[in-house]
Structure 1
Amino acid sequence: MFTGSIVAIITPMTSDGKICRSSLKKLIQYHIKNKTKAIVTVGTTGESATLTQKEHNKVILLSIEFADNKIPIIAGTGANSTKEAILLTKKIEYSGVHACLTVVPYYNRPTQKGLYQHFKSISENTNIPQILYNVPSRTGCDISPETVIQLSKFKNIIGIKEATGDLSRVHQIKQYAKKNFLLISGDDSTALDFMQLGGHGVISVTANIAAKEMSNMCSLALQKKFCDARRINNTLMPIHQSLFLEPNPIPIKWAAWKLGMIQNNYIRLPLTQLSYKTQLILKKSLRISKLLN
């Protein structure tokens, strides 16, 4: 269920900053049509940090409704408080989501023992499948492969999204984690290399605007047709790189709006609109990748 191209979907908003139902529905239909394997809603790319708890739940429920059981939904339920992460996860446990994505606790910088106890507590207090999310550039804390291997022994901890870009971790975790433990890249630029080393897929920002291409690339990689997969990836590389010239999701929201996929380019403070300089670079990348005429 959670292999191949998984999109970290944006949260479209109206001009006055409210959740845009029609754009969200359009995006989800786009991913169903283009064979994206699953949708991660209210993650980093979904601006979870600036959504209220009410909005957070609303986006999850709308995503389930619009998906209509045609594509799995993974909900972001992480927090820097273990108690809050458990409450967020329990709240959506029987909503119809297929798994939760739980980020390494940010800001408080726990030890590896603290990280182990945090995820252990979530696992023991909930039944929903749990995908760990390691993104040290945002959290200020890095969960080690050794801790991941220990956590993989829990029945409902089914995988990890590794957004470090450190490809050596694939072998380290794969060698000692439980069988079928999912290794999912969180870095579009290195995702194909990650899969060639034994990873199972990518939670992708690029897939927001290039769903078909990312789906095809990952499908070929899982079939070990890496030369064919690399041809697609080489075409997408300018996009992979341009989308991170400014903090995510600033560039991807602008790109989705530019391509007519969402009605409005509204983004919440403290994030601001994409700079004109980066717009020019991203527009050029969209043309090189043949996503924009």
Structure 2
Amino acid sequence: MSTIGRHVTKLSGYAPALPTPFNQDGNLDADAFAEFCSRQVDEGASALVVADTMGEAPTLTPAEHVRLIHIAREVSNGRVPVIAGCGSNSTEHAVDLTQEAEDAGADAVLLVVPYYNKPTQAGLIAHFREIAQSTALPVFLHDEPSRTVCGLADATVARLAELPQIIGLKDATGDVTRPCHLRPLVGAEFRLMTGDDATALGYLAQGGDGCISVTSNMAPGLCRNVFLAYRQGQIARAQRLAVQAGRLTSALLCEATPAPLKYALSTLGWMSPDVRLPMVPPGEAVRRQLDAVIAQSSVEYAASMIGRRLCFGHRPRAA
């Protein structure tokens, strides 16, 4: 049985960190989000990650947060798990978000390290334990010190992994060797998912389970094939595909996400490029760079996938 699509406790492969589309009035575009979720599931996403950093979580209202989970849950219809971003630098607020996500039908929650207030490692343990005890849902930790300043020490991850509800880590440190350090501490069942597309293949090779991904929003089939080629021992093919994905990744991360990603998706007709302040759309130079990389990626992937459905170049289905 393929690891793609298994229950969240066996999560592996590429799971897109979904952007949140807005309409011209600045409100949530529910239709565009539902269509985008459907495309991702059809193309082999292993989970739908909703209302995380890529979804502009700090700018979402509580009602929007719940609505996104409901939409993803309805589209998924049990085919892949829905993981809801519920992190906050207020433990009480994170508990509220987590309980709302559970009521809305999420399969798991993703909890980022508290930002700005710089807790100690003991504070982080207390924070995540408090949230885990407030819900029946499985919990993924999210370590991204470039955004939060404070990071999770390996020993802290190991302590938290002793709690049965804490089942995995989104590791956005960019340290490709981290699975080697963590795996002996957390055990074989603990899900180690990189949050860094640029080093995803190396992370897999060091014992990671997959990637919570920016790039798979644009090229879900390409990213899925990188993972499957690696798992099937086709290392040379995985490396070739990873080079293609890497060029796209570099362009999508040339400015703070999700602005470049949403612009790129807008060129394919998949959603509006609009972001909420304090994010702003990318400038002309970045747009030109993205246009060029998207065009090149379309040609490369088409050449490698003759006879199969492409990730690039098809418009959304009619509503």
TM-score by length of 1: 0.96
Match of 2:273 in 1: 265
By how many angstroms is 1:92 displaced?
Answer: 1.8
Aligned-pair CA distance for 1:60: 1.3
Partner of 2:50: 41
1:83 corresponds to which residue?
92
* Whole-angstrom CA distance in 2 between matches of 1:147 and 1:184: 17
Distance in 1 between residues matched to 2:289 and 2:141, nearest whole Å: 33
Q: Distance in 2 between matches of 1:141 and 1:189?
A: 22
Q: CA deviation at 1:216?
A: 1.2
User: Equivalents in 1 of 2:209, 2:178: separation in Å?
Assistant: 13
Structure 2 residue aligned with 1:279, among 259, 266, 287? 287
Report matched runs for 1:140-289 at 5 Å. 140-262=149-271, 264-289=272-297
8 A Cα contact 2:229 2:235, kept in partner: yes
Return 5+ residue gaps in structure 1 as ranges: none
Out of 25, 32, 43, the position equivalent to 1:23 is 32
CA drift of 1:224 comes to 3.5
Q: Give per-residue Cα distances to partners, 1:160-213, cap 9 Å, x unaligned.
A: 000010122111111111331010000000011000111000000111110111
Given that 1:235 and 1:288 are in contact with CA atoms closer than 8 Å, whether structure 2 keeps it comes out as: no
Instruction: Give structure 2 stretches of 5+ with no counterpart.
Output: 1-5, 299-311, 315-319
Percent identical: 35
AA at the equivalent of 1:289: S
CA contact (8 A) 2:17 2:52 kept: yes
1:54 & 1:4 partners in 2: Cα distance?
30
> Partner amino acid for 2:228?
S
Q: Which runs of 4+ in 1 moved over 4 A?
A: none
Quick one: distance in 1 between partners of 2:106 and 2:89? Answer: 22
Q: Does the aligned pair in 1 maintain the 2:259–2:273 contact within 8 Å?
A: no
- Kept after mapping to 1: 8 A contact 2:158/2:182: yes
CA shift for structure 1 position 289: 1.4
Shift of 1:292: 6.3
List aligned pairs for 1:99-138, cutoff 5 A: 99-138=108-147
Aligned residues: 292
CA distance in 2, matches of 1:157, 1:212: 29
- What amino acid sits opposite 2:275 in the alignment? I
Q: Aligned AA for 2:220? A: A
- Distance in 2, Cα, partners of 1:83 & 1:278: 39
One-letter code of the match for 1:62? I
* Amino acid aligned to 2:207: G
Q: TM-score if structure 2 supplies the norm length?
A: 0.89
Distance 1:197 1:9 in 2: 26
User: How much does 1:85 deviate?
Assistant: 1.0
Q: What displacement does 1:42 show?
A: 0.3
- Which amino acid is 2:174 matched to? G
For residues 40-82 of structure 1, the C-alpha deviation after alignment (integer angstroms, 9 at most, x for no partner) is 0001111111111121111111221222222211000111011
Question: Which structure carries more relative contact order (alpha carbon 8 Å, separation 6+)?
Answer: 1
